Structure 1
C-alpha cells in the first residue's frame, strides 16, 4: 500500500494525520492539510467467510466438501452450496450444468452472444463503397438500411450497448448507395437521349 504523502514536501504522513473537521500540519514542512482518512484504509481487516460449514452427517456441496448443501442442481441433481447455486430463470444449476448448457445453447434464458445488426448494416454500407463494387450498391445499400432499421428494435449488445451511431451511419451510407445507383441510371438515360439528337 502506498503511504499518504504531503502534497508540498512529499513526506510520509501517519494514518491519522488528516482530519476533515480541523486542519492538521505536516510534521516536516508544517504545511496546512485537511482531509479524511478512513480507519479501514490503514488497518485491513480479515474478512471472515459467512458460509454455512457442514456439520457431521449433513449433505455437503459437490464442489466444496466443507460447505453445507443448500439445494440440488435441477439438471444433474448434485448437491450445491450457496456459492455454486446459479439461478437461471426458475431453475437452479451448478457451474458444470450451466457451462454445458451454454456450450450447446440449450438454455434459452441465457443469450451468450447477440447479432450486432447495426454493425453488420454498417459493413454493408461501407464495403461496397471502399471496394468500388457499384453494381452491388442497390442490393448492399438496401440491405444496410434494412439492417440498421432492424437494429433499432433488437436487444442491445451486453458489452457495447446500443450503437445508434452505427445504425445512423449505415442508413446514410445505404441511402447514398441507392441514390448513387439511381443517379448513375439517370446519367446513362440522359446521355443516351442527348446522343440520339
Structure 2
C-alpha cells in the first residue's frame, strides 16, 4: 500500500469565513483611504473588485501550490491587523496585512517554500495584465481596470521585497537567480508606473 500523501485542494468553513471577513475589511479600508476621490460606496465597490479580488487570489495561489505539495494550508485573518488597516486608513495611510496562508507539513524544502511564495506575486502580475486590458475602456469599467492594474503592480513589487516574512525573502533563500529574474523586471515596472522613471 502506498504511503504517499494524497494531494488535494480543499478548504474549510473557517477559512471561507476568514477570507470573506478579510476581503470586506481590506476593501473597506482602501475605500476609506481614497474617500476624498469620490463616492464612498462606489469606491468600496471598486475596492471589492480590485483590491479584494487581488488579495484573495494572491493568498489562494499560495494555498493551491502548498496543497499541491501535500501540505496543510489555510488562510487565517489577523483581527488586530484588520483593525489597524481600517484605523490607519482614517489617518491617511494604509498598513495592509490582513492575514496570511498558514502552512504546515512534516518537511517543507526551500524549493517548495520558494515555489509557494512565488505563486502570489506571479498571480498579481497576471491580474495586472488583465486589469490593464480593461483600463482602456471608459467609465466604471475603465476605473476598475486602471485601479486594479496599479494595485496589482504594487502588491507584486511589495511582496517581492527580500525582507522580513515577505514572499521575496523566501524566494531569495531558495534561489537568488530566480529571484533576480522575476523581481528586477517587476521592480523596474513599478518604478516606471509609480514614479515615471
Same fold (TM over 0.5): no
- TM-score normalised over the length of structure 2: 0.29
- TM-score normalised over the length of structure 1: 0.29
| Higher fraction of helix | 2
